[in-house]
Amino acid sequence: MSFGRSLLLLGLLVAIVLLAVHTGLVTRGDRNSGFKMGQEEEAAIQDNINNINNNNNNDMVLFTGAFNVSFIRHAEKPIDPTNVHLNREGRARADALMSLFCGKAMGCRFDVPMVLFARKAERPRFVEREVETLTPLARNYNLSIEEVGINETTQLYESIMEFAGSSKHVRAVPDLNQAPLVALICWEHHDFYHLFPKFGCATDPREGGNSPICPHQILKWPDYEFNTVVTFSYVGMELYSVHTAPLLY
> Residue 210: its pLDDT value, please?
55
Supply the mean pLDDT for the chain. Answer: 76
Query: Could you read off the pLDDT of 158-191 as tens digits, one per residue?
Result: 999 988 888 877 756 567 777 899 999 999 998 8
Mean pLDDT to the nearest integer, 193-214: 71
Q: Encode pLDDT of 104-159 as tens digits.
A: 888 999 999 999 999 998 888 898 999 999 999 999 999 999 999 989 999 999 99
pLDDT reported for residue 171: 57
- Nearest Cα to Cα of residue 15 among 186, 243, 227, 200: 243
What residue spans define the domains of the chain? Answer: 3-246
3-class state of residue 85 by DSSP: coil
- On the question of pLDDT at 42 being above 50, the answer is no
- CATH dotted code for 3-246: 3.40.50.1240
The predicted model scores a pTM of 0.73
